[in-house]
């Protein structure tokens, strides 16, 4: 293990420790878990496919909200306390610092997001005997793989929102500024890009043939499309289609994550000197 990676891991551990001590994040985690488990309770016994369809839309909103709650002050707090200026005097590059912050807070984000989802999946097993489903004659249609694929794709979606949140934190100069940017970031991720594509289609700027490719470049549309194509589509057949190219969607998600981190790396230490 080289020195740069050791420093990155040290920053990641510091970031993780900071999040697990936060009462505000505990409240966010509790609220998220309550919503997910409440949905699981209302659909108990209906099967994995029903649970997947029920949680998909809430997750499209909740995951970015939780990610921004975890990341929007990640670098700003260090800057306000003067710690970024101190870090600049250490042999700690901006890249090692930002990647460490990202990894530490990503660990917290995945714990908050995935644990309730896995518990919700357990409700299907617990209440299976009560289930009377039209899919009962097709066992593969309600395989746990449907739900596990959704959980895995959610784990791939979460870093995108966190990367953008950390970029916001690196740019913000005050808490009020960070909150405004965070709210704007959530709105753009959740509805802004998709509405822009719809407006472009309605105005003739975007052709129907290009819409599937452009939609895959929107994090939310990419996530939704991947779940429909890779988790639900194989058991639902032609009845449900995600409308995206999975490869393009994965590239889009990776690009958003890398782009957010690139902005943060470029801005983090620069903000420490202003």
Question: What's the confidence (pLDDT) of residue 270?
Answer: 76
Q: Nearest to residue 159, comparing CAs of 219, 205, 201? A: 219
CB-based contact 216:248 (threshold 8 Å): yes
Report the predicted TM-score, pTM, of the whole model to 2 decimal places: 0.86
CB-based contact 60:223 (threshold 8 Å): yes
Question: What's the confidence (pLDDT) of residue 136?
Answer: 43
CA distances for 255 relative to 157, 217, 218, angstroms? 12, 9, 10
Reduce the DSSP state of residue 73 to 3 states and report it: coil
- Alpha helix ranges (H) inside 127-241: 144-171, 175-187, 193-202, 208-216, 219-226, 233-236
CB-based contact 134:46 (threshold 8 Å): no
Taking the chain (274 residues) in runs of 10, the rounded mean pLDDT of each run is 83 93 92 95 82 92 93 89 85 91 96 95 72 46 84 96 92 82 78 63 61 74 89 67 77 92 88 52
């Amino acid at each position: 293990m080289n020195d740069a990676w050791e420093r990155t891991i040290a920053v990641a551990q510091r970031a993780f420790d900071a999040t697990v001590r936060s009462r505000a994040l505990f409240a966010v985690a509790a609220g998220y878990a309550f919503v997910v488990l409440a949905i699981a309770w209302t659909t108990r016994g209906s099967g994995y496919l029903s649970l997947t369809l029920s949680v998909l839309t809430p997750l499209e909103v909740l995951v970015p909200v939780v990610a921004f709650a975890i990341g929007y002050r990640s670098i700003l707090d260090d800057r306000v306390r003067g710690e970024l200026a101190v870090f600049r005097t250490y042999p700690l590059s901006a890249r090692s610092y930002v990647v460490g912050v990202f990894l530490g807070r990503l660990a917290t984000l995945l714990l908050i997001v995935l644990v309730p989802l896995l518990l919700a999946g357990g409700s299907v097993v617990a209440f299976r005997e009560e289930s009377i489903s039209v899919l009962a004659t097709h066992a593969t249609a309600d395989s746990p793989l449907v739900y596990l694929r959704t959980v895995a794709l959610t784990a791939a979606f979460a870093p995108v929102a966190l990367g953008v949140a950390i970029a916001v934190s690196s740019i913000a100069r005050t808490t009020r500024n960070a909150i405004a940017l965070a709210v704007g970031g959530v709105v753009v991720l959740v509805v802004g890009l998709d509405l822009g594509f719809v407006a472009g289609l309605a105005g003739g700027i975007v052709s129907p043939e290009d819409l599937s490719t452009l939609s895959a470049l929107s994090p939310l549309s990419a996530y939704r499309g991947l779940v429909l194509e890779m988790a639900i589509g194989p058991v639902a057949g032609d009845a449900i289609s995600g409308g995206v190219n999975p490869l393009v969607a994965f590239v889009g998600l990776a690009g958003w994550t890398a782009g957010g981190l690139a902005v943060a790396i470029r801005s983090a230490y620069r903000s420490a000197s202003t």
